[in-house]
Amino acid sequence: MRRYTVLLLTPDSLTSEYGLSSNAFHVDVESPVGCDTLGDHVRAAIALARAQALEMHDVDVNESADGADFHVIAVFAGHHDDLSPFE
């Protein structure tokens, strides 16, 4: 299993502060059959994070099934916590 932290930008339709609203998601990617490369694992991590984002924002999965409106800002190996102060 590989652990990732995925930072996603919240779509403008779900926030009044587009460009300023993002969320970090901790995901664990199992190594499924055929998922051998780092790119495969990163794509799986992004898909898991987008699924969590859809659930967190209570988005109807039928309208945005893949969560592509949640744009990827960064993907980090390991679980990392944001320690920046909030204003």
The string of pLDDT tens digits covering residues 20-69 is 788 899 999 987 666 678 888 999 999 999 999 988 887 765 555 568 88
Domain membership flag for residue 73: yes
* pTM recorded for the entire structure: 0.82
Tell me which residue has tokens 């930072």.
7
Question: Which residue range is the domain that position 72 belongs to?
Answer: 2-77
Domain membership flag for residue 85: no
Q: Is the pLDDT of residue 3 over 80?
A: yes
Domain membership flag for residue 31: yes
Q: How many domains does the chain have?
A: 1
Measured between alpha carbons, how far is residue 19 from residues 42, 50, 85 in Å? 23, 17, 18
CB distance 50 to 70 below 8 Å:
yes
